[in-house]
Structure 1
Amino acid sequence: MPTDRPTAVLAMGAEVAEALFPPGLRRRLTASFAPDPVELNGSLTTPGARAALAGADILITGWRCPPLTAEVLAAAPRLRAVIHAAGTVKSLVTQAVWERGVAVSSAADANARPVADFTVAAITLAAKKALPTAARYRDGWPSFAEREGAYGRSVGIIGASRIGRRVIARLASSGNDTRILLSDPYVSRADAEALGARLCDLDELCRSSSIVSVHAPKLPETHQLLDARRLALVPDGGTVINTSRGTLVDTEALAGECATGRLNAFLDVTDPEPLPPGHALLKLPNVLVTPHIAGAQGSEVSRLGLYAIEEAERWIRGEPLHGAITAAELTRLA
């Protein structure tokens, strides 16, 4: 272990660092290290960056940090931990990091909370058919018979990820008698029941859910997991919600289903991202597309900074990292 006050380097965009560590958190951060952490806002291979990395025991990274290649690690012989003040580390952590035995942690848990909040809000709006009902309102006040409620709906959750599990927990405790289906190849039937869901295969989930919410990671085997065939299984009037990765849904097949009015959609991610101007999904009244805002935004970003600081403090004390990630786990994570 390093000394009681190790040396840290921050590596992220300048505006990212400002959002992650407002003055109060910055003071807490600097109190843990000696000297104050050096901040790198660009390349990690410049002479100045290499000089800073030479004495680094811990690297705190964020959005816009370049990949931690073998060249970068060669300039950081003392590096023992990388704490990422954001979600996924797939574009950041290279094989060289694992080969060096550097501990890796992510603030994905902190980022999961606002995504779960956003998703549950979308599910509530979907259950009430808010988008198509609002569209009908343009032509006159919708009748009582045209209105929908959230009670007793069937919601299919694809993927028991950090976010998927949070969403299941919220739905199970909502008091709306929601029937929750779960499809995840890594979850047992007993585990699903413990979460409050019924495990089933993906085809059954699509056939049996009026709302389908996507929470699986981006992997080769999950590419267009919701393809034209599976989208066709979703009952008429159903809604697809995607706050995970755009590639998990066949964009054009979904656009076709929504254009007919058969399905509705709430999409915080798309493929491609962003969608080209004038794309059908941007114009349909029964589709809401948001520009990847479900995760930590604005004032929420400081939650990620706090998580990273608490992880650094745990590492200094020699305690287990709450957001620890292993090479084996990374293949199944977002």
Structure 2
Amino acid sequence: MPTSQLPRVLFVMNPVHLPELFPPRQMARLQNLARVDPALVVRDFADSEAVRAMAEAEILITGWGCPHIGADVLAAAPRLRAVLHAAGSVRGLLDDAVWERGIAVSSAVQANALPVAEYTLAAILFAGKDVFGLRERFRAEHVYPAPGDHGPIGNLGRSVGIIGASRVGRRVLELLRPFDLSVMLYDPYVDDAEAAELGAVRLPLDELIHASDILSLHAPDIPETHRMLDRERLALIPDGGVLINTSRGALVDPAALTDELVSGRISAVLDVTEPEPLPADSPLYRLSNVFLTPHIAGSLGNELERLGRTVVDELERLSAGHEPAHSVSQADLVKSA
């Protein structure tokens, strides 16, 4: 296709992310598919250069740092026909007017789910072996316990409860298949047959919590899930149980969780919290039964290229006259993050 016929594409994001999302091999692919200027990365739609570029833009490639795209922005972009998001959720980024105008929307949320699921798998297996607790014991005692001196630990038949058959939740279920674990699932949109196909037994939420040695959260942050693990439900976690949260801190009552962890009754692996980050005086930084990480489960470092590659793949599909493979509809946002 002659260069003059290639679609005009505009980057809209924090430019610091551009080299990691689109390293040379992905940028070369992108420039073969579109007229795009890597030196022009919009952060403010009101900027005069952005206004000129938006008037010609047919496709926006958005990412972290993209300002809200509302009706006023769309009015300045009469040729716009697609928004390809090189990150996870588009919730809060796009106005209803985007879908009302028939603009195609795609997200790299599926690609971003992969490292989150990998982090979760590692956390589940480490929790089953009590790696975090035994590390603290080794630090304190400097001795190797006898094989029978570890207590009731191990990953043979360990009960794992997954809350939410989201993209991450489904990938976690897939990754758990090779292991000798007893896997359970709660998701109001999944029936018994689908849960079985995913490799899990479907249970009501309270029953699942009570039956789980390890409980992993993968539900979206929507009004229906706000504080879904309140004080009463946290109390259902068995003594010695482990809570893993790579979803959103808002799903858990923070005061109740802190009380449970301070008591030492349960442990937790927390990549997300509320608030985020926690205040400097939070006891969760100091507790030996809490493994706290700074929201790193999602794509980092060279994993960001996977997000950019997904966007270039989508642009390739659009150029061939196909629908995006990772299309996002307005209805999807009702039950997804």
Deviations 1:228-279 (A, max 9, x none): 1111111110000000011001122111111121100000000000000020
Residues in 1 aligned to 2:16 and 2:219: alpha-carbon distance in whole angstroms: 30
Aligned to 1:240: 243
**SS of match in other structure, 1:276:** coil
Aligned to 1:193: 196
TM-score (norm 2): 0.95
1:116 aligns with 2:117: yes
Aligned to 2:330: 327
**SS of match in other structure, 1:324:** coil
Indicate if the aligned counterparts of 1:282 and 1:289 stay in contact, CA closer than 8 A: yes
Indicate if the aligned counterparts of 1:8 and 1:38 stay in contact, CA closer than 8 A: no
Indicate if the aligned counterparts of 1:4 and 1:316 stay in contact, CA closer than 8 A: no
Could you tell me which of 146, 151, 154 is aligned with 2:150? 146
Structure 2 CA distance for partners of 1:288 and 1:5, relative to 1, 3 Å: same
Aligned to 1:309: 312
Residues in 2 aligned to 1:255 and 1:62: alpha-carbon distance in whole angstroms: 33
Deviations 1:130-172 (A, max 9, x none): 1222222233234432252111101000000000001011112
Residues in 1 aligned to 2:5 and 2:113: alpha-carbon distance in whole angstroms: 31
Residues in 1 aligned to 2:39 and 2:70: alpha-carbon distance in whole angstroms: 20
Query: Once the 2 structures are TM-superposed, how far is the Cα of residue 36 of structure 1 from its aligned partner?
Result: 4.2
Residues in 1 aligned to 2:89 and 2:233: alpha-carbon distance in whole angstroms: 27
Aligned to 1:155: 160
Length, aligned pairs only? 330
Residues in 2 aligned to 1:154 and 1:218: alpha-carbon distance in whole angstroms: 25
Aligned to 2:299: 296
Could you tell me which of 257, 260, 265 is aligned with 2:260? 257
What is the 5 A alignment of 1:1-334?
A: 5-34=6-35, 36=37, 39-140=40-141, 141=143, 142-144=145-147, 145-147=149-151, 148-174=153-179, 176=180, 178-334=181-337
Deviations 1:44-69 (A, max 9, x none): 12221111011111111010000111
Residues in 2 aligned to 1:243 and 1:39: alpha-carbon distance in whole angstroms: 34
Query: 5+ residue gaps in structure 2?
Result: none
What is the alpha-carbon root mean square deviation over aligned residues?
1.3
Q: Which amino acid aligns with 1:167?
A: V
Residues in 2 aligned to 1:304 and 1:310: alpha-carbon distance in whole angstroms: 10
Residues in 2 aligned to 1:36 and 1:262: alpha-carbon distance in whole angstroms: 56
Identity of aligned residues (%): 49
TM-score (norm 1): 0.96
**SS of match in other structure, 2:110:** helix
Deviations 1:168-203 (A, max 9, x none): 1111223x2x11110100111111011111111110
Residues in 2 aligned to 1:105 and 1:15: alpha-carbon distance in whole angstroms: 22
Residues in 1 aligned to 2:134 and 2:232: alpha-carbon distance in whole angstroms: 27
Indicate if the aligned counterparts of 1:9 and 1:38 stay in contact, CA closer than 8 A: no
Residues in 1 aligned to 2:40 and 2:111: alpha-carbon distance in whole angstroms: 22
Residues in 2 aligned to 1:243 and 1:84: alpha-carbon distance in whole angstroms: 21
Query: Once the 2 structures are TM-superposed, how far is the Cα of residue 32 of structure 1 from its aligned partner?
Result: 0.7
Query: Once the 2 structures are TM-superposed, how far is the Cα of residue 37 of structure 1 from its aligned partner?
Result: 6.0
User: More displaced, 95-104 or 155-164?
Assistant: 95-104
**SS of match in other structure, 1:325:** coil
Indicate if the aligned counterparts of 1:38 and 1:52 stay in contact, CA closer than 8 A: no
Query: Once the 2 structures are TM-superposed, how far is the Cα of residue 38 of structure 1 from its aligned partner?
Result: 6.6
Indicate if the aligned counterparts of 2:42 and 2:50 stay in contact, CA closer than 8 A: no
Residues in 1 aligned to 2:301 and 2:11: alpha-carbon distance in whole angstroms: 20
Query: Once the 2 structures are TM-superposed, how far is the Cα of residue 315 of structure 1 from its aligned partner?
Result: 0.9
Q: Which amino acid aligns with 1:150?
A: N
Structure 2 CA distance for partners of 1:38 and 1:330, relative to 1, 3 Å: farther
